[in-house]
Structure 1
Amino acid sequence: MFDSKLITLIVSVITIAPIIAILIEKWKFKNNTNINRDKNYYYKCIFITYENYSCLQHVYNTTSCGEKCSYAYLTEILNLLKSAKSSISMCMYHLSLQQIFQEIINAKLRGVSIRIITDREMEFNSGSKISRLRQEGVEIKTQSIAELTGYLHHKFCLIDKNYDSQIMWFGSLNLTLQGICSNWDNIVITNNNDIILRFSNAFENLWTDM
């Protein structure tokens, strides 16, 4: 006959093993998805609502009605582009704002490496600045015709990645007048290294595949 202690031990192991396996999987998931809580990083959330519709004229007149004004938000994005010293890697569904176009050209003129990934169909949308950026020598890629099973719908921008000054924004905002003034949209600005690394890997994979 089997020793009763041995039987108890075997039953206990069989009972506990699935629990241990679940705990291990939870640890792996947490380890793979946890964002670095480094106190040196920061983030800022910007939300555009129906209230920003009244800011349309502010964008035209380059005047701000306050910190939540669309022109103030646009200025913040422009300042991020102005801060670029090494590179701008942008993935944007639609880009039609003249101010953004000009700031990208300014960055190119001061020697910043610029790469843009955009949607193939939206490149030819009315008001799009992509064709003009191509004419100015900016590197731009889109999905191939064979890959047109969906939109290239990303909206993020990496600035000076791999440098101490690296920063990025991501969210739902297209760089359009409608996006900055009329839609319900958002962007998050951050210098968090983990987030930048993940978006950077995604950008490089897209750039290589296109």
Structure 2
Amino acid sequence: MTDDGVNIVPLLIGIIALLLFVVLYDWYKKMTINHHEVYFVMMGEPQCCNPNDANASPNNNCRKYCMGKLLKKIMDRINSAKHSICIAMYNFSNHRIADCVLRAHRRGVKVRLIIDKSMSESNESKTQAKRLKDAGIHVKVSGEGDKLMHHKFCLIDGTTAKGLLLTGSLNWTYGGLSKNCENVAFINNRRVKHLYRDAFDHIWNKYSVPFFRERA
């Protein structure tokens, strides 16, 4: 209370409460940050970077629907993984993306891969699955007959603040990155990442079996 009889305690409590609110709100925004990017590639569009050329150098001057730029974006995100990579991919035959997954495994990132059973028996997808399996990566297959494991998503570093979800229409194949109309969304949303992680774990634990080397 001041000399003139004014009680300042409620005012001080109000100021403290306001500061606490500002701090908590800032923390909430950081924990629930939404960051999204969407990339498209279009068949028939002129291409400035060949996605199958290891010497291509995509940059900010690339065309809007540059396939090489999308491939580089995917590879960069896999290369940035610190803790874990969960991949559910119907068809996975692109050796450049597989190279990135393999390097992540070798630097200690926990990698789990699920591919469709029918695709695991095709030449190119089988080659990459066997290669990753032989390197020590956990690889499973899912689907039977006309029941397909048709997902195309990758969750990098789980639900951490810097974790990232890649999802869309794109299979990690040469055709998907060189002649199709495709889309990939890069999403950092905590709730969405939780949903995809739970879905991945559900398939991993209930609807998949190990990919065996003798499938080669």
TM-score range, shorter chain: 0.7 to 0.9
Whether the 8 Å CA contact 1:179–1:185 is kept in 2: the answer is yes
Give the AA of the match of 1:102. Answer: D
Change (3 A) 1:175 1:53: farther
Whether 1:46 and 2:39 are equivalent positions in the alignment is: yes
Cα RMSD after superposing both structures: 2.1
Which stretches in structure 1 are left out of the alignment for 5+ residues? 1-35
Aligned-pair distance for 1:55? 5.3
Cα separation, 1, equivalents of 2:75 and 2:201: 23
> 2:15 — aligned with what?
none
TM-score normalised to structure 2 length: 0.73
Aligned-pair distance for 1:58? 5.2
Aligned-pair distance for 1:143? 2.1
Q: Which 4+ stretches in 1 moved above 2 angstroms?
A: 51-59
- Which deviations, in whole Å up to 9, do the C-alpha atoms of 1:145-201 show, x marking residues without a partner? xx4332211000001113221111101100111101211111110101111111111
- Which deviations, in whole Å up to 9, do the C-alpha atoms of 1:38-62 show, x marking residues without a partner? 8721101111112446457353142
> 1:166 — aligned with what?
163
Change (3 A) 1:160 1:44: same
- Which deviations, in whole Å up to 9, do the C-alpha atoms of 1:79-127 show, x marking residues without a partner? 1101110000000011111111110110001000000011011112222
Correspondent of 1:123 among 99, 117, 120: 120
> 1:132 — aligned with what?
131
Q: Hey, which of these two has a bigger chunk of helix by percent? A: 1
Change (3 A) 1:58 1:142: closer
Alignment of 1:165-204 (within 5 A): 165-204=162-201
Cα separation, 2, equivalents of 1:56 and 1:172: 21
| Paired residue secondary structure (2:117) | coil
Question: How many pairs does the alignment contain?
Answer: 172
Give the AA of the match of 2:201. Answer: E
Cα separation, 2, equivalents of 1:97 and 1:137: 19
Cα separation, 1, equivalents of 2:142 and 2:192: 24
Correspondent of 1:77 among 49, 53, 74: 74
TM-score normalised to structure 1 length: 0.75
Cα separation, 2, equivalents of 1:77 and 1:54: 18
| Paired residue secondary structure (1:199) | helix
Cα separation, 1, equivalents of 2:51 and 2:194: 35
Change (3 A) 1:52 1:104: farther
